[in-house]
Amino acid sequence: QPGYDTQAIIEKDKAHHVHPWQVFDVFRDEGALPIVKGEGSYIFDSEGRKYFDAVGGLWCNNIGLGRKEMAEAIAAQAYQLSYASPFVDLTNIPAAELAAKLASLAPATLNHVFFTCGGSTAVDTAFRMIHYYQNCRGKHAKKHIISRINSYHGTTYASMSIGGKPGDHPPEFDFISDTIHHLSYPNYYRCAAEGMSESEFVDTLVQEFEDKIEELGGADNVAAFFAEPIMGAGGVIVAPEGYLKRMHAVCKANDILYVSDEVVTAFGRLGHWFASEDEFGIVPDMITSAKGLTSGYQPLGALLFSDEIWDVLNAENSGRCFAHGFTYSGHPVACAAALKNIEIMEREQLLENVKEVGPYFEQQLKTLEDLPIVGQVRGRKFMVCVEYVADKKTKALFPEELDIGKRVSNNADELGLITRAIVHLNVMSPPLTMNKDEVDFIVATLRQ
């Protein structure tokens, strides 16, 4: 018996703790479920109930919760050196070691790392570095940023403006709208015209990108393109074959920086350290990462960028200073956690496990498509989702007030399975340790 006063915790939380994306009217009544313990892929609530967390926290629990080795590495670093300023004249050993390690794991030309507090601040850092870089090159008109509808890039002012989820852009908020533009997103299931092949669909998306550059007065005015290799929060959208390569080629042909937002896809979710090159065959100019970097044991993000950008920033006798950074950039405890996290992934060959179990997960989950309310099961390896429809033929959605994703996930909770509801979807990104029996449990539970 855990012995927590669950109601008292819920009341304190409701009164004082404002949650991300809190829907005030719902939260006022329902509050949030207190989670008190984590062990591997399982979380336990304050009433002692156990759940398989198929969401991996928030796409971030890659090695599993509650590892003693991680706690010891974090404690040892906190005891040895809990903090040192990262500002130029000082460094710390975990930050230096981690930056070198990331450079060794990243595509060959991405050898430089700027540490941040998480994913949004990595995207924000990319945004600022892009403008700094283009100005340093004398390309002062290269100001426009292009991304996609339904992309998610974080929650700071700039990263949310780059993101394009309509639900996150209500009129009550302001956004950077004069220099940030959103293209269509590559959702073949929902957005391709009747009878259009995948390659024809890609043609239209590439054409739209080229037209947008033209509309903005040409490539001299366009600084960068941002894209997640697989859109995460926007509904686990895997673009049709060739899309990312062709969008990348447009960037290269037009001297536009390609930023691959790998906050979700890096560190094993698709069976690679970074998915851009190994899964999709592109070498971006910048990669933003966070989440799986520490598996959520400590908050940390990292922007990786190319030698080419570095050479401009680092030009001799230029007097340049990239006036940007956080008190917690390169935090020693967070970097020590990341190093241990990567060591565990290497030792336990977790990327290999994702390559082996991932296709089984995709295949088994796909069997749910015989259910009358399942429109599509999609995703890749350990990043998947189920889309519910009211009518399979027309792909019509259930009315939003029915909250179908939430209803299914609430029922799954009762059966000991956590999935993430996003309107008419259930999204999953389980720990990389997941085995085939656990896949069977997820699929059987969702079917039930």
What does the binding site for ligand PLP look like in residue numbers (CB under 6 A)? Answer: 118-120, 123, 152-154, 228, 232-233, 261, 263-264, 290
Nearer to ligand PLP among residue 290 and residue 389 (C-beta) = 290
Query: Identity (one letter) of the amino acid at 183?
Result: L
Is 213 or 405 the residue whose CB approaches ligand PLP more closely? 405
Q: Is 227 helix (H, G, I), strand (E, B) or coil?
A: strand
Is the CB of residue 52 less than 8 Å from the CB of residue 39? no
Give whichever of 286 and 439 is closer to ligand PLP, judged by the CB atom. 286
Closest to ligand PLP by CB, 279 or 438: 279
Quick count: other Cβ atoms within 10 Å of Cβ 93? Answer: 15
Instruction: Report the nearest approach of ligand PLP to the CB of residue 426 (Å).
Output: 16
Residues facing 343 on adjacent strands: none
User: Cβ 186 to ligand PLP, closest distance in Å?
Assistant: 15
Separation between Cα atoms, residue 121 and residue 111, nearest integer Å:
19
In the complex with ligand PLP, which residue's Cβ is closer, 328 or 439? 328
Q: What is the DSSP letter of 40?
A: B
Return the DSSP state at 293: G
Least separation, in Å, of the C-beta of 414 and ligand PLP? 26
Query: Who's near 346: CB < 8 A, 6+ residues apart?
Result: none
CB of 236 to ligand PLP, least distance (A): 11
Cα–Cα distance, 338 to 266 (Å, whole number): 13
Q: Smallest distance from the beta carbon of 421 to ligand PLP, in angstroms?
A: 15
Closer by beta carbon to ligand PLP, 60 or else 251: 60
Helix, strand, or coil (residue 289) = strand
The minimum distance between CB 292 and ligand PLP, in angstroms, equals 11
Tokens of 65: 């919760």
Tokens of 310: 């570095």
Using CA atoms, how far residue 120 sits from 113, 115, 150, in Å, is: 16, 12, 16
Find the shortest distance in angstroms from Cβ 321 to ligand PLP: 26
Pick between residue 294 and residue 433 the one whose CB is nearest to ligand PLP.
294
Q: Which residue of this chain has its Cβ atom nearest to ligand PLP in the complex?
A: 119
Taking the complex as a whole, the smallest distance from the CB of residue 412 to ligand PLP amounts, in Å, to: 21
Residue 328 CB, shortest distance to ligand PLP, in Å, is 13
Residue 343: CB atoms within 10 A of its CB come to 15
Classify each residue of 165-190 as buried b or exposed e, where b means 16 or more C-beta atoms within 10 Å of its C-beta: beebbeeeeeeeeeebbbbebbbbee
Closest separation between CB of residue 70 and ligand PLP, Å?
A: 18
27 Cβ contact partners less than 8 Å away, ≥ 6 residues apart: 14, 19
Q: How far apart are the first and last CA of the chain?
A: 29
Is the Cβ of residue 383 or residue 442 nearer to ligand PLP in the bound state? 383
Give the residue with the Cβ less far from ligand PLP, 264 or 412.
264
DSSP for 325-341? --TTTT-HHHHHHHHHH
Least distance between ligand PLP and beta carbon 233 (Å): 5
- Min dist CB 386 to ligand PLP, Å, is 19
In angstroms, rounded to a whole number, what is the distance separating the alpha carbons of residues 260 and 289?
Answer: 9
* Strand spans (E) along 149-256: 180-183, 222-227
What does the block give as tokens for 142? 């290269």
- What tokens does 335 get? 């970097």
Nearer Cβ to ligand PLP (152/389):
152
Nearer to ligand PLP, 118 or 186 (CB): 118
Rounded Cα gap, residues 90 and 318, in angstroms: 22
C-alpha dihedral sign at 283, 284, 286, 287? negative
Nearer to ligand PLP, 152 or 382 (CB): 152
Largest Cα separation within the chain, whole Å, is 67
